[in-house]
Every structure is written in structure tokens, then in C-alpha cells.
Structure 1
């Protein structure tokens, strides 16, 4: 396993790409909790902070494919620095306005929406550069696996850093300052690591793809997008149901053990996916992973105690990173060269939108149905994704039939 990942990192330019991307993406682990705490402290209202965070997340999800399209069209070297600079400035503005109480709430909302709109798509840019750097499919799968696992660990490390800042300084706004520095430095370094000729070639390919097939990208990538949305919805719903379960079997804080085992399982699964060569196609692997993920979530409905729920969560976690990694890989295969960044952004957007929808639906279900039934229903998005994949495969077969006959 170690040798396979060492091969990826020994590729010229890989360490620089990976390191600079992680620096910038660490900001996305620090900023959400820092912003939530800073706004709560400034406004004195959890409800207002919640609405602001919802607008921040929603604006980011909605605009993500547009930002990625700009990267594809103009190249990372030209488009990424202005986005990162604008995002960093807005974060500094949020830090300044939340330093002390008294700033009008609409101003905070406007800044939060601006931050969501300007957040640079560092993840999709990184994965597009992995594709350009590693033409070998096996190495690219290992790079994507390593990238996905590292990104998940950043979303664990980031909140811890934000919490340490608050504990040490009692100033959550300082987390926003750190996030601004990280995203600006990381994004500028990432942009400079892209070869100039490669960026220009990608921009030309993007212009050609834009003219020839502007809307076929979503149709071609139906299966990975549905799988990403299902993973987000299932995890979002399970996260809330796990809190309810922990409250009924002890205390709400015990849910941290469930989240920890799920994250650990995801890391192990992601590393295993990239360490071995698989004969099955990406389409087949994704269908199996989606079905396994749904089955594991359904099993949580049978858990009688919190330790058993954590154990089943670890089983489900084994499929999370592999599902997302395979979704990214399949999307990259199906997208044209000039659409890779946008395709990766759509996977991100579907996962995040699914997570928000799953959490919202879980909130409605938890008050109306028995908890075991709610946990079983968390598996339903995976079943829907499998149905969408079969429909998409049937549609592609029908489209290819005339060509084969000819």
C-alpha cells in the first residue's frame, strides 16, 4: 500500500500540487465553525447564526459549477488568484464586522453570501490537475483516493484548530483571519504550480467543449452525480438521527464516537480503494459501493446500543471515501478535457446539496416516526441513486444502438 502511494508522490510536481492544495483547503475546515461562533457571539442569537450559515453554504453550492466553469474557460493561473483574493478579503471583512457587537445583521448576511459566491474551487482544480499530471489510470485512482482521504481529515482538523483558537484567545474571528491567509497562500501557490502551456491547453479545450456540448455533461455524468447526492443525503440524515439516538441512550455528546468511527472507516476504505488494482469498471464499482453504503445505513436501524451503532457506522464509513473517489474518477472519465474542473464541482455540489436536503428531511422525520424506521429511511437515497444509474445506463445503450448498427 505504501509503495503505491509513494509512486504517486514521486511523480514530478505531485508533492507541490498536493501540499499547496491542502494548505488552501484547510481553510474550508476552519472557516465554518469560526464563522458560526463569531456570528453567534456578535448577534447573541443561534437562530440568526444558523440562517447566516445556511445562506453561506447555499450560495457556495449554487455558484460552485459557475466558478469551476470560469476555471475551465480561463485556466487556473488566471482565474484562481482573483477568486482567492476576493474570498480572503470577504473573510477579513467578516472578521472585522464580528470582532465586536453592533454591526447590522443584513450586512453580515451580505458578506456571508459574498463569501459563498467567491470561495475558490480548490478541490475540483486539484483533481483536474491530478488528471493532467497522471495519465495512468491506476496512479490517478490512487491520487484521487489519497486526495479524498486527506480532504476528509482536513474537515476533522479544521474545526479542532478553530476550537483551539477560541479556547486560547476567546476571539473566534481570528479563525476567519487564519482561514483568509491559508486560502490565499494555498490558492496562489496552487495556481503557480500549473504549467502555463497546460493551462492554455485546458482553456482551449474548455472553449471547444462549451461550443459543442454545453449541456451534455450533466446527462453523461448522471450516475456519479446521483451517487454523490445519495452519499451526502444519507450521511446528512444519519448524522442527525445519530444525535437523537445518542440523546436517548446517554447524552448527545456521545455522538462524537459515532462520527469518529465513521470517519475512521472512511479513511481506511479510501486508502484500500487506491492501494489495489480492480478489474471491475468504475461504473460497476460505483454501483456496488452505493448499494453497500445503503445497506450499511439500513443496518443501523437494528443497532440496540450506541457502541453497536458506532460499529455499523464504521462499516458504512468504509464505503464513503471510496464512493466519492469513484464518483470523481468516473466523472473525470466521462467529461471532456475542458470540462474536468466543472465536472468535479458538480460532484461537490451534489454531495453538499444532498447533505443539506438529507439533514432537513431528517429533522422532519425524527419528530414523526420511530427512530429505527428513520434510520432505515436514511438508506433510501442510495436506492434512488441506483435506480437513476440504471435509467442512465439504459438511455446510453439506446443512444449507442444506432451507432453500433451503423
Structure 2
């Protein structure tokens, strides 16, 4: 069911995506701002640790920062859908950058009250601008052709993966030269510059903006309960995030068990490299199957690779299995975002993408937390299997026959 189409190879290329009018400029601006999301978490964690002298305080503040950022993401996206990115992104990014700047100044030297730092972290997380969901919404208006849109989403996912690899490397350079707080300040500059460059793009002015009454109750709020395909995509994406959140900690434990603790970076690099290759290959192929079919298959394949990783007898086997697991990460996320785009109207696409993003991040946090409780109590192979179980169960559940109505199929198939 998942075989590539035998159609002639005249599919639009990734270069065709970037040659679309205003696409390269808009995408470049979004990536500039999103680089901040690769820089800020590590820089802020190090800055908080230096300022408080406590890993537990730094971890608690970062947990608050992450929770506020993740769980308020749909609400921030709803503001974008209601008022448009040009009106909402500049003040949101400006407030976020201002709070990061205050955090950078407060952590530049030790001695700041932990409660103040925690409050600032929560406030900054609550204002995180949804540059990723906004860019994916703009892709829908820039490249309405379904084949080209899939390539655009694949390119977007691979680029985002590389940003999360590049960001920590940049933080390492900053920390070697100056204080970690300087990395937080750099993140503030990046997100503000990227957001302002994004809203200045002609693609943003062409995007549809809702013109609804001022009454907040009239805002186009997205209800997952009424959109089966999107609800399933959110559930599957949460389990993909759970797998990856658990895998980070399990890789640390595995490399320790194999007597190669310093090799953890090689395993995670293999995972990222596999994801980049998988994402580019996924976008380059014409698929016959619908997105709703491809998503659970990708999630199940990722989970199966986790089970194999748990019984890897040698480091090189673990690295290889991590690379194989990575092959399914970007395709799974790309497909989930495609389903979000297919399922929601133009006035709610940013919210739909934000729900997928929220599900992934919440799942990743849950996976890390759950495995953290189990890894010292259960055999490592069993921990890997338990980390994979939610994705396998969810993938099986959402592919049951008759689960999606004929009307939903009619809406989804033309987009694939």
C-alpha cells in the first residue's frame, strides 16, 4: 500500500519549491527566527544553572518554560488565525525577545532570586511565537499543488531538524568565549529579526486573515473532537514524540552499558542524519497511499526500530539502528502536518499545525519523564520495548477498518 507511484518522474523538485515566488525569502526568514529555538533551551539551561548554582532549580525553571511554551501553543496559533501573522507576530516576538533579554541580564551573574527566574521563564515560554506553524500555513498558500506542498513540508522538516543540531553547536561556541547568558541574548535577537523579516514578506500580506467580530467567542477555535483525521494525527504524533523523548535517555543508558558513554553524541547524530535522509527521500517520492495510511506505518516502523535498538549488542549496531529509526522521524512529522493542513480550513490551519507540534513536544516530555522513572528499575531492553509500545498500539488503533468515514476519505485523497 505504501509503494511509490509508477507515474513518470516529472515530479517537482526541491529546487522548484524554492523557486516559487517569495518562497525562499519567506522560508529563510522563518528559519532565522526558528534557529532561536535550537539555541535558547541549552543556553538558558546553562545560564540558569550558573546563576542559581543548582541543576534542580535550573531544571525546574526549564520545565516551566517548556510547559508554558508547549501547552499554550494552540492558543497563540488561534490569535494568528484570527488576526493574521502581520498583526500578531511582531508584538508576540517582541515580548518574547524582551523577556529573554531580561532573563539574560538576570543570569549574567549569580545571585538572582530563583522565584524571579522561574516567573520570567514561565512568562517567556507563554509568549513563544509559533514561527513553525505560521511557516507551514504559508507553505499552503505559496505552493497549493499537493505534490509540491509535500516537498515543501519535507524540506521544512529537514531544515528544522538541522536547526536543532546547529543550535547547540552555536551555544557551545558562545559558552567557550563568554557567558551562557550571551546565548540567551543571541536567541532573543534571532527570533525578533526572523519574525520581523517573515512578516515583511509579500507572502504574508497575501495570506488569508479572518475578519471576525471583536467578541473573543467568535474566534475560529479548532475542535479536535470534530475532525477525526486530525485527532488521529495528533495522537500518533504524540506517540512519536514519546518514542524520541524516551530514546534520548535510553541512548545515554545504552552507551553507559556498552562502556562508551562519550559515544552518545554519535548515536544521536546518526538519528538526526537518518531523519534528514528519510525526510528528503519521502518528499521526493510520489506515494499512492493516503497520508492517513502513511502516518501510522511510519510511527510503527520507528517503534519497531526502538525495540531492536534495545537488544543491540555493540555500539556500531546501536548507531546503525538509530540511523534506521531516524529514517521514519521526518516522514512521520511531515505526514502529520500534511494531515493537519488537509483537515482544517484556511482560517484554522495555524491552529491545526500547532496541535501537531504541541502533541509531539508533550509526547517527548512524557517519554523522557516515564523512562526516567523506569530505566533504573527495569532491564534496558524492556525499557526500549515499553517506550515503543504506545506508538505500536496507537498505529494499530487508528488503522482499524471503517474508522474514517467516506466523506473524510473524499476530502483527503485528492491532496496525496
Q: TM-score range by the shorter chain?
A: over 0.9
1:224 to 216, 220, 233: 233
Match of 1:188 in 2: 196
1:97 to 103, 106, 112: 106
Task: Give the TM-score normalised by structure 2.
Answer: 0.91
Task: Give the TM-score normalised by structure 1.
Answer: 0.93
Match of 1:37 in 2: 46
Residue 336 of structure 1, CA deviation:
1.2
Q: How far apart are the structure 1 equivalents of 2:176 and 2:362? A: 32
Runs of at least 4 residues of structure 1 off by over 2 A? 194-199, 204-220, 393-401
Number of equivalenced pairs: 398
Residue 302 of structure 1, CA deviation:
2.3
Instruction: Flag the 1:305–1:191 CA change in 2: closer, same or farther, 3 A.
Output: same
Q: Is the 1:266–1:320 Cα contact (8 Å) retained in structure 2?
A: yes
Instruction: Flag the 1:212–1:379 CA change in 2: closer, same or farther, 3 A.
Output: closer
Q: How far apart are the structure 2 equivalents of 1:100 and 1:324? A: 40
Instruction: Flag the 1:194–1:349 CA change in 2: closer, same or farther, 3 A.
Output: farther
Q: Is the 1:300–1:376 Cα contact (8 Å) retained in structure 2?
A: no
- The answer to which structure has the higher helix fraction is 1
Instruction: Flag the 1:330–1:149 CA change in 2: closer, same or farther, 3 A.
Output: same
1:203 to 200, 207, 210: 210
1:147 to 146, 156, 168: 156
Instruction: Flag the 1:118–1:217 CA change in 2: closer, same or farther, 3 A.
Output: farther
Q: Is the 2:36–2:187 Cα contact (8 Å) retained in structure 1?
A: yes
Q: How far apart are the structure 2 equivalents of 1:141 and 1:356? A: 28
Structure 2 unaligned residues grouped into runs of 5+? 1-8, 410-416
- 1:165-314 matches, within 5 Å, as 165-169=174-178, 171-195=179-203, 198-199=206-207, 201-204=208-211, 210=219, 214=223, 216=225, 219-314=228-323
Instruction: Flag the 1:85–1:217 CA change in 2: closer, same or farther, 3 A.
Output: farther
Q: How far apart are the structure 2 equivalents of 1:342 and 1:17? A: 20
> Which range is displaced more, 374-383 or 216-225?
216-225
Residue 275 of structure 1, CA deviation:
1.0
RMSD of the TM alignment (CA)? Answer: 2.3
- Say whether residues 1:77 and 2:71 are aligned partners: no
Structure 1 unaligned residues grouped into runs of 5+? 402-406
Deviations 1:292-331 (A, max 9, x none): 1111111112211121111111111000000000100011
Match of 2:412 in 1: none
Q: How far apart are the structure 2 equivalents of 1:136 and 1:204? A: 26
DSSP-derived class of the 1:338 partner: coil
Q: How far apart are the structure 2 equivalents of 1:141 and 1:400? A: 19
